[in-house]
Structure 1
Amino acid sequence: MFVGRRKELESLETAYQKGSFQFAVVYGRRRVGKTSLLRVFTQGKPHVIFFTGQQTVASENLALLSREILGDSAAGAAFPSIQVALESVFEHAKTEQIVLIIDEYPYLAESDPGVSSCLQTLIDRHKDTSKLFLVLCGSSMSFMEHQVLGHQSPLYGRRTMQLRIDPFTIFDVALMLPDAPIERVIELYSVVGGMPLYLSQLDGARSTQWNLEHALLRQDAFLYAEPQNYLLQEVRSPAIYNAVITAIANGYVRSKEIADVTHLATPQVARLLDALIELRIVERVTPVVKATKRQVIYRICDNLFRFWYRFVPQYAGTIEEGLGAAVAARIAKHDLSTFVGPAFEEVCRQWLMRQVVESELDVLPKAIGSWWGTNPNTRRQEEIDVVLEDADGELIVGECKWRNEPADVDVLETLMRRGTLLGRPIQRYYLFSKGGFTEACREKAAQVNDTRLIDLEQLL
């Protein structure tokens, strides 16, 4: 089932309708749905060449590319080189519009390191006369950002558009899980995130506990092995990356803490963290306002990795004994509510940004995230779950409560008190609550201008 990606499809279609030479770079993490997007884009178009690079030698990639260009009727025929094959497509596109998609371009470039220079020459020679719609697509974030889009690449400056395909937000997750009630949508999102392939492994009509048991906590489940397999594909020494991710999952969120617990040198930890950030597994986080150097922390931003490293290592032996159902029951009963909390905060931030995009909230965001710091009066650490800073420096702040009980007036009062710690004008307060709100909380909100109470029904 293909859902979402409306903006990406519109961008590709708008470029295609120009009828002139176009060079699109499409990239994003594995499993994020790049190939599905391009398949949908090419549906109904008369002249499409869709080639997928293989992790093999150049001669095999040449044979496969030749087959895609020449068609099945020319079985066994092949161009003498990849350059000649590509030259033929550029020449043919002088008389009719052709879409040439090279998926997994890093594999092709690895087998034939000169292919980027070849494309540079062909683009420079033919861009004014060719109607070719060229798409280079890849999952290696580092390669695509540095070797295709980067200034050191022969292709630098040739692209006419680029699309970074990100995981789904909670709104598209809900479309992929149409049979799930809102609470379950958020729970499942907190467990696997917004990767379409991961979501396709779930059954929204079944309970979260059932999905934990059958989709994640079985040795034969695709998602059970996915984090480890992903690292094996993307990095050369998975063991040390494992150590860093495990440290963060266990609450060691500062660079020095990670170095101490992993017994790795601080410069090496910095390089590993940079690589994990590039892979979109880890993110570097600071408070939205009034941040200091000492407040830099790292957290796992991929929800499947966050779930896996939080639970699987400690229960691996039990799962391998076939007791995944018991593990799922324990997690659902004792840990799930706390685990969902941080993901719920992200859901609320996504909702706030959607309000801006849909003109329901008239602000120009400069940054959105959270805030934490020391209360100078009490010397205690305090935090605010949602902080949006607008272009004028004013703030919108919010508190997120993932619990069954209605949020009471004290929660709203605490948010208002903490807002004063930021030293900026507060435009609006938001209180997000899974369990709704007490009457006292509603009365207090009605008395304070620019205060909004948002329950799950309003979120999705």
Structure 2
Amino acid sequence: MTLPKPAEIFDRDAEWHELARFVGDERPGATLGVVSGRRRQGKTLLLYQLAQATGGFYFGATEATATDSLRRLGTALGEHTGAPGPVHLPDWAHAVDALLALGRDRPTTVVIDEFPYLARTSHDLPSIVQHALTPGRPERIGSRTRLLLCGSALSFMGGLLAGSAPLRGRAGLELPVAPLDFRAAAGFWGITDPALAVRVFSIVGGTPAYRREYVQDDAPADAADFDNWVTRAVLNPARPLFREARYLLAEDPDLRETALYHSVLAAVAEGNATRGGIAGYIGRKATDLQHPLTVLEDAGLLVRDPDPLRSGRSSYRITEPLVTFYEAVMKPAWTALEQRRGADVWRGAQRRFTSAVLGPRFEEMVRQWAGRFAGPETLGGLAAQVGSATMTDPATRTSHELDLVALGEQPLGGAPRPVLAIGEVKWGRTLGQPDLDRLDRVRELLRRRPGADAERTRLLLSSAAGFTEQLVAASAGRTDVLLVDLERLYGGD
């Protein structure tokens, strides 16, 4: 029987389906699932509603001593089971066995939210859970508890099942809860104007809490209201969203040198996407950046994108739009913003917002469209990797920047990997025939290059400003040219 998703949960159909499948497993034996994701993505709502819908047990951990946490858990267990008083839990081994005992009679959902808080004061807790779930152990065999451990500290949660970690091999579910994609975010904010949706997404991204608690449901009414909305909701010191980007770094316990991490993020926000570029911007050696870059990646704030056309070359980008907006627009004018001069700051930041925030985010959205929403018929195959790339012309010794390169699956037998599409993406410039001609030339270079199959490569042009009549006419009779405007970005494949 399927478990209906509660009306309070927006989108998250795939996540709900996986959770419902996991907790509804009728087989004997306790099982473990791990749910992770940055704060404010709706994990707590998702898991609380799951526990409610299945008659399960939900416990939200807090920052407290081990003794206090055990006391709170015992009290919650007593209330859940109808015991005359709190359940006495002398240690975590007894506590985990008490959770397994909840599932003696039927599959029972048990959620421990913010598990890293507990593990931070009881370092052996993951090992205790591992022991409790040992195959053949009577307490596990006699239980059908579906234990879900959830956490927002991505560096910790990512290591929970990795390498030689105690719980590796014990989990039957590993579910990341990511921010909403740009299409879902537009629906969540109630925005039907694609151009406005791009602008809003470029600032707040797809984090659900930024729509509700952080701006009190204040969304721009229309395109004309966007500037006023930025001033009153984002650049307003009285709104929680104002300091949120700074708190994102402070919340992760592994991010101790916040000044260094902010400098790295500022470098990337300024367009320094390579390790060498970041090092030059912050005045460090490239070899000194391995640790901070790794920590920021583990925390989910940075991602390293391999160049699809050049092995060993990669670039970094900030995953959270609000962090990019903060580093590019807010931090340089922080004093003025604290003095409530948000309207003045915003007027002076328009060019910077477009070049450092809006343009790069729009490019990433088009790449996401190609990788997630464009069907195999659109690209001539299923895109396995989408990124930006640099293509060198050996004859003229010039480089061609490609905003989009979509690669297909690697064929068996060592055959060249198909290049499904290359593209030009611009937010504020109308694309025309010269842009198509340039992509034609780059495709010819690719066709002469060993190791790449570019015989059926399609040429993708995307612009929020539209296309010239000449380009539209030239592409009308060509099946190898894709014009992606805002309407297609948000509604088509």
TM-score by length of 2: 0.86
Cα deviation digits, residues 304-334 of structure 1 (max 9, x gap): 11111111122112212211012223334x3
The answer as to 2:66 corresponding to 1:62 is no
Confirm or deny that 1:177 pairs with 2:189: yes
Q: Structure 1 residue aligned with 2:293, among 240, 256, 273?
A: 273
SS of alignment partner, residue 406 of structure 2? strand
1:130 deviates by 1.5
Separation in 1, partners of 2:481, 2:271: 33
Tell me if 1:94 matches 2:118.
no
1:168-190 per-position Cα deviation (integer Å, ceiling 9, x unaligned): 21111111111351111111111
3-state SS of paired residue (1:160): strand
| Structure 1 residue ranges without an equivalent (≥5) | none
Deviations 1:126-169 (A, max 9, x none): 443321111011111121121x2123222111101111122221
2:386 is the counterpart of 1:371: no
Q: Kindly provide the amino acid, as one letter, of the partner of residue 418 in structure 1.
A: V
Query: Which amino acid counterpart does residue 276 of structure 2 have in structure 1?
Result: K
Contact 1:93 1:131 in 2 (8 A): yes
Contact in 2 for aligned 1:180/1:204 (Cα 8 Å) = no
List gaps (5 residues or longer) in structure 2: 1-7, 412-416
**Is residue 2:401 matched to residue 1:383?**
yes
CA contact (8 A) 1:99 1:134 kept: yes
Matched letter for residue 335 of structure 1: R
Alignment partners' CA distance in 2, 1:183 and 1:343? 13
C-alpha distance after superposition, 1:113-136 (max 9, x if no partner): 222222122212244332111101
What is the TM-score of this pair, normalised by structure 1? 0.91
Aligned to 1:112: 122
Match of 1:131 in 2: 144
Counterpart position of 1:407 = 431
Is residue 356–residue 362 contact of structure 1 (8 Å, CA) maintained in 2?
no
1:56-455 matches, within 5 Å, as 56-71=64-79, 74=84, 78-124=88-134, 125=137, 126-146=139-159, 148-200=160-212, 201=215, 203-206=219-222, 207-234=225-252, 235-289=255-309, 291-293=310-312, 295-332=313-350, 334-338=351-355, 339-356=357-374, 363-391=381-409, 392=411, 393-395=417-419, 396-403=421-428, 406-422=430-446, 423=449, 424-425=453-454, 426-455=456-485
**CA positional deviation for 1:109:** 1.1
**For 1:27, which of 21, 36, 39 is the aligned residue?**
36
Counterpart contact for 1:433–1:454, Cα < 8 Å: yes
- Residues 1:208 and 1:105: Cα distance change in structure 2 (over 3 Å): same
The answer as to whether partners of 2:308 and 2:385 remain within 8 angstroms in 1 is yes
> What is the DSSP-based 3-state SS (H/G/I as helix, E as strand, rest coil) of the residue aligned with 1:394?
strand
Q: Is 84-93 or 128-137 further displaced after alignment?
A: 84-93
Q: CA RMSD in A?
A: 2.3
Q: Contact between 1:436 and 1:455, CA under 8 Å: does it hold in 2?
A: yes
CA contact (8 A) 2:25 2:107 kept: no
Change (3 A) 1:257 1:445: closer
- Specify the code of the residue in structure 1 equivalent to 2:479: N
Query: Structure 1 stretch 82-91 or stretch 223-232: which is displaced more?
Result: 82-91
Deviations 1:6-50 (A, max 9, x none): 11111111222222333111111222222122123334212x111
Q: How many residues align?
A: 454
Residues 347/265 of structure 1: CA separation in 2 closer, same or farther (3 Å cut): closer
Paired amino acid for 2:43: K
**Amino acid of the structure 2 residue aligned with 1:163:** L
Aligned to 2:4: none
